Amino acid sequence: MNSHIFPGEHVAFIEEFENGRNTYVVDGSIRSSSFGVKVFDYKRRVVKTEKKKGPLTPKIGDIVVGNIDMLFGSMISIKILYINEIFTNAGFSGIASSRVSDSQNSSYHGGSRRDRFDKKSRFSFRVGDLIRGRVYSLLNSSIHIIIDEPDLGTIYSSCYNCGGETIRVGNSRIKCVECNIQEEKKLASDYGIQTIINLADLSRIK
């Protein structure tokens, strides 16, 4: 009934309905051109997609938070859990480059692009790390995310050695409170377990 549909998804056949707003026709199949909910007008025999209101789909400029679910080469895949601090279980995945600049003060717009991409990152990324990023491109239906800004990067990671709680002990260093092992990471400025708790609380209110 009110199930969500994705762009390109089949909505109805042209024998059954006329295509209305936010739909298009391919080989007799009416497809949605946007993320939303399909709405059937049985009287006029028109089907349309009602665009979902609110930040359900990540847009350019949105701040997203999610877990790393895969590492491949110099890229990380992030399963998006929050879009602008609102929880989503729509199952979006974003990709980001793990080659981030060493400088905590670098911004995406400033600095030399070459420096950033020629250097191999000394920061570690692991599956399960909670990452905050900004959507900067939606090219080829992929959600491209940047993480090399002071507020972006890892917001929490459990100890890779014992699974214990970690705390920040430097600009880009965390330490396990259980086994004392340290790790270099690209940390968001508010790194810490409290950030996850705040995020969960905030999203419950919204």
Min CB(157)–Zn ion separation in Å: 11
Kindly indicate which of the ranges 11-19, 46-54, 72-80, 161-169 contains the residues binding Zn ion, using the contact rule CB under 5 A.
161-169
Exposure string of 77-87, with b = 16+ CB inside 10 Å and e = fewer, is: bbebbbbbeee
Total of residues contacting Zn ion (CB under 5 A): 7
CA dist 27 to 15, 32, 49, 74, Å? Answer: 11, 14, 19, 40
- For Zn ion, the closer CB: 105 or 161: 161
Among 104, 164, 184, 190, the residue binding Zn ion under the rule CB under 5 A is: 164
Coil, helix or strand at residue 107: coil
Min CB(147)–Zn ion separation in Å: 24
* 62 vs 69: CA distance, rounded Å: 20
Coil, helix or strand at residue 154: strand
* 91 vs 103: CA distance, rounded Å: 32
Closest CA to 75 of 104, 45, 100, 39: 100
179 binding Zn ion? (CB under 5 A):
yes
178 binding Zn ion? (CB under 5 A):
yes
Min CB(127)–Zn ion separation in Å: 17
- For Zn ion, the closer CB: 106 or 124: 124
Min CB(98)–Zn ion separation in Å: 22
Kindly indicate which of the ranges 2-10, 29-37, 159-167, 186-194 contains the residues binding Zn ion, using the contact rule CB under 5 A.
159-167
Q: Are the beta carbons of 152 and 187 closer than 8 angstroms?
A: no
Min CB(174)–Zn ion separation in Å: 10
CA dist 61 to 3, 23, 122, 145, Å? Answer: 27, 26, 27, 9
Interacting residues of 175 by C-beta distance below 8 A, sequence separation 6+: 166, 167, 168, 169, 181, 182
159 binding Zn ion? (CB under 5 A):
yes
- For Zn ion, the closer CB: 174 or 176: 176
Residue 181 CB neighbours (<10 A): 14
174 binding Zn ion? (CB under 5 A):
no
Among 176, 187, 188, 199, the residue binding Zn ion under the rule CB under 5 A is: 176
- For Zn ion, the closer CB: 147 or 187: 187
Q: Which residues contact Zn ion (rule: CB under 5 A)?
A: 159, 161-162, 164, 176, 178-179
